[in-house]
Structure 1
């Protein structure tokens, strides 16, 4: 009898263990999704470049932004509720890639742009029909027609998507949509200068970049794309008489303080730094960029108390036309002659990167693929007088310094 009871008890325990294993659920790790955009929306080929400062948009009769107006200087004056299409603050920004789901079966969409603010603005509504064409990506540039003359409210421009022919280069072009400014600002320093007419793309030292990006008129509007070796550049826009056009400062949405008669950065009401702002920016290999010229909003001093008013002035901004991949391939290297005894040349893996450099001078940067490389300093007779070998990493800039150490021996330091 006892044996039967023990056997039944053992079977009962075994059955309970099986039941417990069958009911045991797998643990699931729950993580907070901190992404601003959580919906998987595919972008169309249509992009809106909002140079007019609109903050609200309606698509096909449906509001995509929040249409919320805050009282200035209130505790929540900078807090705006997000929406499905604009989750960060519920307002239209400078650049908007229009999602594919807003287009109908004919690949068209109706967009209505406007500005809602506590203080009335001169900007009216702009309504446009946009077309999604995968073979012809289009930027619709919204201009502040209320503040300028000589341009329509909307200018459609084809956008380049073809990668540079040379993979270590980037493409760049100029779009000139400048116009005469209505009600130009003025203060004790003078009246707002006239920055209308043809423009040219230049490097930081004023050297013109290419004939194809020079003398771009308002009638021409758009230059061809040109290819330039990747790197960090400070491009400038020059008028025909050599005057420099200002750029927007610290990002596309910034309002920059300018001196009206010179468009330079002011010190105070009557004094200027005599420096015109132009951004220093990295241009990635495979990247495609547009320098857009159009009137934008600026502040200027109106008295000695640093109080300001606003005006529009023709200016430029750099817009990225594609999403270039991270540079995991190329690095840049130049040679510098730090030896006073003679002129030298530099080679990387047998390829000359600089010739006949005098003491204290540097060659231009050249691009190479990351990996182990040998850099040589060559004298006038073609003899290698110093060299260095090491692994050179991508997305880096290197300088090969030729110098003499304390014993007088020539060394090449990367």
Structure 2
């Protein structure tokens, strides 16, 4: 387990900030001047109207500067490390002379003007230039939506062919909106509104309304694919998995394409090579703050051979729901969510004749994400199972890391739990469910081996072993696999387990009839249940990949369920089978 914690804390974990008692300039009056840093060559020193805001290589710094730049320098980050110039730093005419320097040269010296009526964002690009774009702080018209646009600041003549007009898709390659297609270099799209939630947007260069799936852009800090042993061959840019992000209701975001030098190695692994390449970042233009209002739910019909209707507070949740076992074709079924206001809600499932089969009340809290599983219970009646889906990719660790800037464990005084929280940005996680009414206990196995879920708890197999029919596991509900933070040319190397030395992602997932006896696990293999083919089941759209570029599994949040009757199936359609639901788009 120590090895697990070491790996998590070394490169793939995003640690949460601890308390910081520096003066907070955010409570002061702020100007309309906001700057983003996309200069990745080195950290920058910042001076505004002759007031140094960074340390300029010394150990000191002004209180206002340390509040803006706690580490004494302005470094780039995934979101561009934005900062807003406080009004107190402007001159009497509302202007700010901004000087940016590296350790070796003066980078920029310009005057920016404050205007509340015309707020402006300034982007420091990788070549040290300043790009100017007006911003809109107007929240979306629908409070449960967010606004999104594309800004293309990248180069048109990218050496890997990533400079053509940009098109945004969902994780399965389907277009997000016509307004977000064909965005040429030096331009930006209009804003569109999308229901809030967890998304894995993908950005492609070229293709317009039909994206070129061989020209996918990497999301910084990931890098485009390059094979140092075939330097003259432009590799297909595929299989690059972006982060799963939750976009807040009421927020305003943009996807910014920028170019920068990216470093690689040649075939000998001794000589570095570099290229100026386009990649993108997801930037928050307006943060609406904490979501106090909205949650999401969707329903899945696991009643063998029946079609049903699900209503929430008397309103139908989507259209008629066919049996999920008849819908499954080997690839993940995308959850169809609806947004609800927090509070108590009455859920009702009925058959196609309007007869109520089951009813229950659920209390929703902000950001809740629930699946309503309508299933047959062992006694033959219909049940409603509410499964909460964790869209954060977070786990709690055995060791306490008090300092977010390093990975050294320390004593836990019990006052701040954030030191035990690890967020895994490129995670693939799966919840397993036994919804077969005539299988008392089910155990899921990967290639006839246990599926470790790598959670720091005693019952590490609680997510997959002896799952009772119609019940959720009490502990450790998820299997977690990590995606490496860099893009690998070898698709088979993309996903690794959390624990070094553990097995890679299996080829197949099988189900066994197990029991609570000491020798009851894994139990009897159920040959009548077709194994789940992992590579196919965890890939939303195989047409997005060439044969050698498809990842073993796409990252995201999934539910894997055994549905149907294991022994008492009256028809072929009612027979037990393993299905998979994907909870993010």
Answer whether TM exceeds 0.5 for this pair. Answer: yes
- Map 1:226-265 to 2 at 5 A: 226-241=192-207, 242=212, 243-249=215-221, 256-260=222-226
Displacement, 1:82?
4.6
Q: Judge which range, 362-371 or 153-162, deviates more.
A: 362-371
Partner residue, 1:18:
none
Note if 1:411 corresponds to 2:383: yes
Tell me: CA distance 1:110–1:135, structure 2 relative to 1, closer, same or farther (3 Å).
same
Which of 181, 186, 190 is the equivalent residue of 1:214?
181
Partner residue, 1:133:
115
- Gaps (5+ residues) in structure 1? 1-32, 70-79, 118-122, 147-152, 185-191, 250-255, 263-269
Which of 332, 346, 351 is the equivalent residue of 2:310?
346
Tell me: CA distance 1:307–1:279, structure 2 relative to 1, closer, same or farther (3 Å).
farther
Displacement, 1:165?
0.9
Partner residue, 2:571:
none
Deviations 1:239-280 (A, max 9, x none): 22312111113xxxxxx4543369xxxxxxx99995214221
Which of 30, 43, 46 is the equivalent residue of 2:33?
46
Partner residue, 1:22:
none
User: 3-state DSSP class of the match of 1:36?
Assistant: coil
Quick check: 2:307–2:321 contact (8 Å CA) kept in 1? Answer: yes
Partner residue, 1:14:
none
Note if 1:114 corresponds to 2:93: no
- Map 1:261-300 to 2 at 5 A: 274-300=238-264
Which of 150, 163, 171 is the equivalent residue of 1:204?
171
Tell me: CA distance 1:236–1:306, structure 2 relative to 1, closer, same or farther (3 Å).
farther
Q: Judge which range, 347-356 or 400-409, deviates more.
A: 347-356
The whole-number CA distance in structure 2 between the counterparts of 1:297 and 1:365 is 40
Displacement, 1:81?
4.8
Q: Judge which range, 275-284 or 330-339, deviates more.
A: 275-284
The whole-number CA distance in structure 2 between the counterparts of 1:404 and 1:164 is 41
User: 3-state DSSP class of the match of 1:321?
Assistant: strand
Q: Judge which range, 318-327 or 85-94, deviates more.
A: 85-94
Q: Judge which range, 124-133 or 228-237, deviates more.
A: 124-133
Note if 1:169 corresponds to 2:145: yes
User: 3-state DSSP class of the match of 1:35?
Assistant: coil
- Gaps (5+ residues) in structure 2? 1-18, 76-80, 229-233, 328-332, 387-585
Q: Which fold has the larger relative contact order, with Cα–Cα distance below 8 Å and residues 6 or more apart in sequence?
A: 2
Which of 162, 167, 189 is the equivalent residue of 1:195?
162
Partner residue, 2:363:
391
Tell me: CA distance 1:323–1:387, structure 2 relative to 1, closer, same or farther (3 Å).
same
The whole-number CA distance in structure 2 between the counterparts of 1:134 and 1:318 is 24
Which of 143, 146, 166 is the equivalent residue of 2:125?
143
Report the RMSD for the aligned CA atoms in angstroms: 2.8
Which of 40, 65, 76 is the equivalent residue of 1:86?
65
Tell me: CA distance 1:291–1:64, structure 2 relative to 1, closer, same or farther (3 Å).
same
Note if 1:326 corresponds to 2:290: yes
User: 3-state DSSP class of the match of 1:212?
Assistant: helix
Displacement, 1:47?
0.6
Partner residue, 2:55:
66
The whole-number CA distance in structure 1 between the counterparts of 2:182 and 2:142 is 26
Deviations 1:121-150 (A, max 9, x none): xx752222211111121101111237xxxx
Displacement, 1:328?
1.7
How many residue pairs get aligned? The number is 340
TM norm structure 1: 0.75
Quick check: 2:253–2:284 contact (8 Å CA) kept in 1? Answer: yes
User: 3-state DSSP class of the match of 2:319?
Assistant: strand
User: 3-state DSSP class of the match of 1:232?
Assistant: strand
The whole-number CA distance in structure 1 between the counterparts of 2:183 and 2:294 is 32
Q: Judge which range, 58-67 or 325-334, deviates more.
A: 58-67
The whole-number CA distance in structure 2 between the counterparts of 1:315 and 1:321 is 19
The whole-number CA distance in structure 1 between the counterparts of 2:237 and 2:147 is 32
Note if 1:36 corresponds to 2:12: no
TM norm structure 2: 0.54
User: 3-state DSSP class of the match of 2:88?
Assistant: helix
Displacement, 1:290?
1.1
User: 3-state DSSP class of the match of 2:65?
Assistant: coil
The whole-number CA distance in structure 2 between the counterparts of 1:156 and 1:257 is 26
Tell me: CA distance 1:166–1:321, structure 2 relative to 1, closer, same or farther (3 Å).
same
Tell me: CA distance 1:374–1:307, structure 2 relative to 1, closer, same or farther (3 Å).
farther
User: 3-state DSSP class of the match of 2:286?
Assistant: coil
Tell me: CA distance 1:308–1:357, structure 2 relative to 1, closer, same or farther (3 Å).
farther
The whole-number CA distance in structure 1 between the counterparts of 2:374 and 2:57 is 63
